[in-house]
Chain A
Amino acid sequence: MAFSLNLRSIILNRIIRSDVRFGFRAFSDAADGAAEGEEQDNGAAVDPTKDRTKVIPLETSMKYMQSKAYNQTYGESPVWFLYRRNHKGGFAPRKTRKSCVRNGMISTGNPCPICRDEYLVLHHQNTNLLEQFISEHTGQVLDAFKTGLCQKKHKELLVAIERAWDQGYLTYDVPFREYDYSLYNKNNETTKNKV
């Protein structure tokens, strides 16, 4: 009996200790994660939907683009299609806002189409997303005025599309090149000159 009691106490002790350790760890982790600003003290108040410190891997984003959840949210139309900018007066300013994210948090009530959905990752391999920002009529990148992207994301988009074009992930209609046959058909040229 004594032996079993002893054992039980040991086990209990272990559990309590590990619990304490775990608790301590969790606390320290939280402190590490938000070490930048003062806000980490009231870290419990952070809205997880507004937190943009987590980096979403490309694979997740590409999977998301094919998923049922994506289809339910956006349907067949591009991600910017139903987005409306908030602005004073009848005409929207020519430039969109500089950035929707400040200190890793969404800092606006109406974030742009890319910032509002954390699973949309601008990357040259994510062609399903990039295609939505290229005009099917002119083949050019749509203006931020039309898509409503913030300036930061628009710049990222331009870089991603340029990379995708360069690396062949996205195809486009190449400008036509007309050849001057007389430069290549050398035999013909010489005969012409002789005549």
Chain B
Amino acid sequence: MSLLFRKPTIFNAKNVLLRQNDVQILLLTSKNFSAVPTIYDGESDPAPKFFSSNVQVLLKRLTRPDFNKVFRKRTNSGFPVLKTPQYKFLTTEQLEAEVAKSRARADQLLQMPPVVKVQTHIKEVLSRDPALIGFDTAKYMFTDITLGVDNQHRIIMERDTDGVLQSCDPDVRKRLNQIYFPIKGRKIKEPVMFTDPERFNSLLDREQYEFVLDRACIQYEPDEPSYQKITSVAYQHVDSRKNYGLLRSTRHFGPLTFYLTWHLSMEGLLLELLQNNVIREAVLLVALRQEVHGDVANGSAAQGLVAEIMNTPIQLSKPESLTEEDIQLDTKCIDCIEQYISANSSMKSQQELALQGFREFYQQLIDLSRGVRKAHGNA
């Protein structure tokens, strides 16, 4: 009898344990961030839009380059000993030349990784030689290692064991290219941080977005599906946590903005811009959406404002005083954003609140700067 009684109790205990485990797993999944990786593989190709000069200009401006961040101290020189800095006395012209040089250098450092459609591999057969069937137990790879040919156009062929001479898979191509013409920092074997979702998510949770994206740039080609999956998950994570500031003034902000705009999910970014009182960039974002999709109600107005905004300097910090032109431009921007929110936005209430907050802040600023000018006797 005792045996009979015991058995069900054991089963019950097991059931309870199992149930508890289930609950834990569910909790974990709900705690963890889950994003669906997406790739640019639809009908439309993002490349022409991304490379068009209008979009490039907008993306570069939205990056809001801060030279302190662009030229931050980096440890990727590869030299075991640091170079000693040079201190010089310069004339004004020389100084201007140096500043121009460092601007060019910043542009170079901020070059955006290209956003292109995912590649499709077509197997091209050069010849079939049945006489060679069983010539060896292994494939033979042939690589043209002529200098001055880029990796994409290099001729790499494989002779299969069944005598077919054909072009090879993209990953084999990549490996051979890396063997003969190594890219610094790229590994032949994929890093575990990209292959293991747990490690990848832990990196995102630690908000190491720049590292993840930089490394993805090195490890993968921009038209590889795995690159686009990794970056899309990272962008979605940034968007869900509103961590735009971490990527701002890095080379990845442009592709992030483009990604969000392409998938029509840039409302969070717009809200962040409104909350941080950069109304002009909000207009640029609306203009970007108009460029990419052309579905904004007052799109042409926003695009008209772009040229005016481009002439003004970048707003890195809160403006201290406003000129009358600034006030005119900003009121136009406010109108534009208001129309956008009422017509196109999917986050209306929050954005309206943020815009209202900005209006109040701006009114104070206007009063202050006008008052100061009056006190100085200028107006």
Contacts and interface: CB of A to CB of B under 8 A. Distances in A.
B81 interface: yes
B218 interface: yes
A89 interface: no
Question: By DSSP majority rule, is chain B's interface helix, strand, loop, or mixed?
Answer: loop
A179 B193 contact: no
A174 B114 contact: no
Given A139-B75, A185-B51, A179 B215 contact: no
Contact of A174 (B150, B200, B215): B215
B21 interface: no
Interface string B80-109: 111000000000000000000000000011
Given A167-B199, A178-B111, A179-B113, A139 B51 contact: no
Nearest to B72: A173
Given A167-B199, A188-B51, A136 B75 contact: yes
A185 to B, nearest CB: 4
A179 B114 contact: yes
Interface centre among B80, B81, B193 (most CB of A within 10 A): B193
Contacts of A28: none
B223 interface: yes
Contacts of B222: 179, 184
Contacts of B76: 139, 172-176
A167 B196 contact: yes
B116 interface: yes
Contact of B202 (A168, A173, A185): A168
Contacts of A181: 51, 114
Given A173-B75, A177-B183, A179-B111, A166 B191 contact: yes
A67 interface: no
Contacts of B376: none
Contact of B47 (A137, A167, A179, A186): A186
Nearest to A188: B51
B77 interface: yes
Contacts of A139: 75-76
A187 B51 CA distance: 9
A86 interface: no
15 contacts: A138-B80, A138-B82, A166-B193, A167-B192, A168-B192, A168-B193, A168-B212, A174-B76, A175-B78, A175-B184, A177-B217, A178-B111, A183-B150, A184-B51, A185-B114
